[in-house]
Structure 1
């Protein structure tokens, strides 16, 4: 089973052909997709895409958007997460590359999401960019307060943060970046990730894998990511598919396994 663990199908890039994009995904063998919430205020649009029986969703606010609601509460997230179609909390985290929200606001809103993940038992979908030390510190501090499950989505950060997150039981997702010619540092980290906690994603419409790089990404391109993961880990394509499927359902356990 091919599963795209991170799509943004509610994004405006798909407004003209969303139905066709979803149909192409199914034709390419994508059996399940998780539509990721970029901000709580946009949840209705995110949830509308998840009306399809093979699409699920999350609730949360991306670090870029943290400034929109710095007073966000775990109660709000937990309330929305009562919807059985919600299978994760996030995408949330820290992005010190663009700094589109103040860093202290990003951190505070991130901790609110951690608390919601802890209360609901749903996995936390973590975005981290150029914030390795602070991210590691927050994850360890929060885990010490009470365990929670986490997914380091589209992981491109350093080996040390990967080790710290893995020690807390984190899952990791691999995206089209792994196929980029200049991304050998990312591939080195992927080779060391826990074999039973790796899943795949497109992060569409962003980060299209080779040979589609530069185009709008879509879930139908996911097989190229899986092929690269298999190559990097020395797995057959069938083994890579089985391993990532098992890891996905172990993490997103609100989704019934067919």
Structure 2
């Protein structure tokens, strides 16, 4: 695992229960591995304060640690309409915080059978409206819902963002790109059978790709074989090196590109790192 290049994880749930008992170690390992920046998306309105606290606590270890605020589509069954008011208040409160960088994780999940699609759409559209109002980028959960999400985005003036764990068609990818989005790739691409994701990874311009773990989820292919329990941000460099190999480019070139791409997607993140003298790549 190389530590010669600074790496960026654009999607990592550090507040997940899997990390609750050893988050100090998880963060230390990520820093040791060369991960200089992590984006922590919120999944419930009730989690906003905790997410802020996690970011505040560990920002010395990971200088580019930032967060977004949102309600995840998989957790819509736990949400109430008043959570949207709570979320709006939390966003307004966070605008003065340079580590708050956007809205997310929001989106639509048409893969899980027990999720009410209309209820998902209500919360998604409401949160898109909030993002449009504050002109903030969004972190999108897109699972078998590419066309519905594209339709919703076209109806609003959304300030781009990242389509996390992208697994649509090349045509759909190009439509997200046209709307100002970067596309997230991580552990799923490390499986040889992931032919569609690998085709996207090699076909898309390098300028639209960002790296992510989605830790503790989306484990890389080697995780269970090595007796590891769950995905971690420390694995991002190893995952990213495999992505670079799939594209047949140098690790350093890939690290520089995905860092720049993430900064393009999330302007407040770029502003923070510039203030810290930490665009660590040029």
TM-score when normalising by structure 1:
0.92
Does the alignment pair 1:63 with 2:73?
yes
**Aligned with 1:194 (options 187, 191, 205):** 205
The corresponding residue for 1:33 is 38
The corresponding residue for 2:153 is 139
Bigger mean CA offset, 87-96 vs 104-113: 104-113
Give 1:169 deviation, angstroms: 1.8
Aligned residues, how many?
255
Q: Matches of 1:244 and 1:238 in 2, distance apart?
A: 10
The corresponding residue for 1:22 is 27
Give 1:106 deviation, angstroms: 1.0
The corresponding residue for 1:174 is 185
The corresponding residue for 1:237 is 251
Give 1:112 deviation, angstroms: 1.9
Give 1:17 deviation, angstroms: 0.6
SS at match of 2:10: strand
Q: Matches of 1:191 and 1:164 in 2, distance apart?
A: 17
Contact 1:227 1:237 in 2 (8 A): yes
Would the alpha carbon gap of residues 107 and 252 (structure 1) be closer, same or farther in structure 2, given more than 3 Å must change?
Answer: same
Give 1:253 deviation, angstroms: 2.0
Does the alignment pair 1:79 with 2:84?
no
The corresponding residue for 2:264 is 250
Q: Matches of 1:117 and 1:197 in 2, distance apart?
A: 21
Give 1:75 deviation, angstroms: 3.5
Would the alpha carbon gap of residues 14 and 147 (structure 1) be closer, same or farther in structure 2, given more than 3 Å must change?
Answer: closer
Coordinate RMSD, CA, aligned: 1.8
Would the alpha carbon gap of residues 204 and 78 (structure 1) be closer, same or farther in structure 2, given more than 3 Å must change?
Answer: same
TM-score when normalising by structure 2:
0.84
Q: Matches of 1:39 and 1:106 in 2, distance apart?
A: 13
Give 1:148 deviation, angstroms: 1.9
Structure 1 residues 116-127: aligned runs within 5 Å: 116-127=130-141
Q: Matches of 2:172 and 2:120 in 1, distance apart?
A: 18
Give 1:87 deviation, angstroms: 1.0
Q: Which runs of 5+ in 1 are unaligned?
A: none
Contact 1:10 1:46 in 2 (8 A): yes
Give 1:202 deviation, angstroms: 0.5
Q: Deviations over 1:10-54 (max 9, x none)?
A: 111011111001000001011111111011111122112101222
Q: Deviations over 1:37-86 (max 9, x none)?
A: 01111112211210122221110010011231245257335324423321
Q: Matches of 1:109 and 1:178 in 2, distance apart?
A: 30
Q: Matches of 2:204 and 2:80 in 1, distance apart?
A: 34
Give 1:104 deviation, angstroms: 1.1
Q: Matches of 2:14 and 2:119 in 1, distance apart?
A: 27
